[in-house]
Structure 1
Amino acid sequence: MPQPSSITAARPLIGRLSLCVKAARLIGLLLLGLVLLPLVPMIGNRSWKIVRWWHGRMLRVLGVTLELDGQPLAGPALIVANHSSWLDIVVLGHVFNTSFVSKAEIGGWPMVGSFARAAGTLFLARGAGKTGETSAQIRQVLDSGRSVLFFPEGTTTWDPQPRRFHARLFAAAIEGGYPVMPVALRYCDDTTPADMHHALVPWVDEAPIWPHFRDLFRVHDLRAQVRVCAAIDPRGYDRRSLAEASFHAISHRQMMAAAKARTPDRAA
């Protein structure tokens, strides 16, 4: 029978081997992505299936379990979500058939920018008068039958509770009559406080991405909770009121989920 000391000594080695296997799987998936990269635009309307599959494989490699609460709309919608990390793209890109709206700087990032363009990302132009161009691009994607997702906080935050939403891109839903679907997103494990994200998930304050990715890569049993709120009909709203309605939908959903998690199961 192995001695307790030998078992204890073996655990660090097993942990390192597990990380090496995980890293090899990640490298293999990235290389496969580079192979698929030129093929995605050629496939046309069905390319989202490849993108969704790749995002799902990435979640498996990272050890992230998806928990989906609610039913996404069948047709195109303007999807808005709270934002905490680059991981949001992987999670939501697997759940929804959607193009993302991203800041223009992402398009210049090595590898990441190429993946984003292949997936149909719309890059938000900087400068006065550019919002109309982005809104027109959003309308074009929605008219093609695909949803568009953006993060109206305009930044990443530590807290699952959203900050105030910027209203300008909500114009595309109003002008086209497309529903807005708020989505509340949270990351946790069994030890995470009910009203917080897992401490290693948020990527904020322009922190270097490599140390953040390295620490997150070591996490086991991470859960991504995706809570789909009731869709909002844009009729009767202006941009600001529609943004506020979406903000309150996500905020309320996060508060209700946290309160439920804190309440012991009476049937237990």
Structure 2
Amino acid sequence: MKQEKPANEQIQNNVQDKVEKVQQEVTESREPWYMVSRRTQFLIAAYLIIFAAFSALAWFVHVHPILSVDVVITKEFQESKKPILSNLMVAVSYLGNQSILFFALIVLTALAFWVVRLRLEALFIIGLSAVSTLLNILLKYIVSRPRPNANLVEVFQRATGQSFPSGHVMSYVAFWGLIFSLGLILFKRNRWWNYALLIIPAFFVVLVGPSRIYLGDHWASDVLGGYLFGGLLLGLALWLYMFLKGRGVLAPKTRKPGEQMLDPQPSNHGSHQPARS
């Protein structure tokens, strides 16, 4: 029993050392605050612009549930029956079909951000996915558009519920799109994982739309609606993120000597001490 305590302490020390090394690597790869602010403002503008057509599209598909252009696009997508393409489309959509697995991935990703002291970002990863899911349910109820009919196109995976907007697309934009955005605005390109934070999320966001059309689960206009509304949510989330970040919410309390200001420091209105040069 006397040897058990030192062994446990050694394990804890080893874990703590590894965590600190990861934190240090992430900190060294962070962009300074002024660069984060500039990039985020650009993304917010881009995400809000793509929302401009969403309301009109939602109204149009509510009035016209079946569009000839949707049928044509789906048939074009489904012309190729190559196994490699079919397997790729199924694989891309797989995560969205497994709610528990997707939820676990979201939680683990948020935990990883929390461990490296990106705590506000961790909360946004969970929060945006939750809000996106709830709004997708509400929008589908309001628009009430039926899913593609097997008499018109091939339906490889029959899904339940309404069709507009695509839940897969919205959930992927909320999770993978946010990871991509954070990877783009927060980090430099001096680590291999900096590129992984961009390439992997972009892969899923770009391909989830075509996969839903190819599998016959959604019309192309459902997918477009998912991207548009998902882009709106992402833009609003980044605006709120910058608002809270600018006030130092959940920012690290201390910085190492000589370290760049990676996060803005909350203003202290109650202090009137003169600044030191």
Q: TM-score range by the shorter chain?
A: under 0.3
Q: Which has the higher contact order (CA 8 A, sep 6+)?
A: 2
User: Which structure is higher in strand share?
Assistant: 1
Greater helix proportion: 2
State the TM-score, normalized to the length of structure 2: 0.26
TM-score, L = length of structure 1: 0.27
